[in-house]
Amino acid sequence: MHIHTHDNRNPFYKNTKKTCEPHIMHKFESDFYGKELRLVVTCYIRPEANFDSLDALIKAIQDDIDFTDRVMDATPHKEQKNSSFFSASSRSGKK
């Protein structure tokens, strides 16, 4: 599953608080509200930016998605899929 996040203040919408917004690029058959979500940040895409229009923001998000699709199946990023961080034993505090 590929995810990219925006860790910023989202100046286009005039937000003042910094947030982390994961964009999960996967179709789920059911929701996962109330479930634990684990993410590993493996690379940096671009700095925070403001946009002149909603269309420019949408284009930047699509460019981020395209970049993520290309890079996440490459080394060293793809190795993270098998990390013990995602195992059930690490969630229960066991090693």
Catalytic (active-site) positions: 21
d(CA 8, CA 64): 14
CB 12 within 8 A of CB 50: yes
From the CB of residue 65, how many other CB atoms can be counted at a distance below 10 Å?
A: 14
Q: In sequence order, what are the residues at sequence separation of 6 or more whose Cβ sits closer than 8 angstroms to the Cβ of residue 17?
A: 9
φ, ψ of residue 64 to 5 degrees: the values are -60, -40
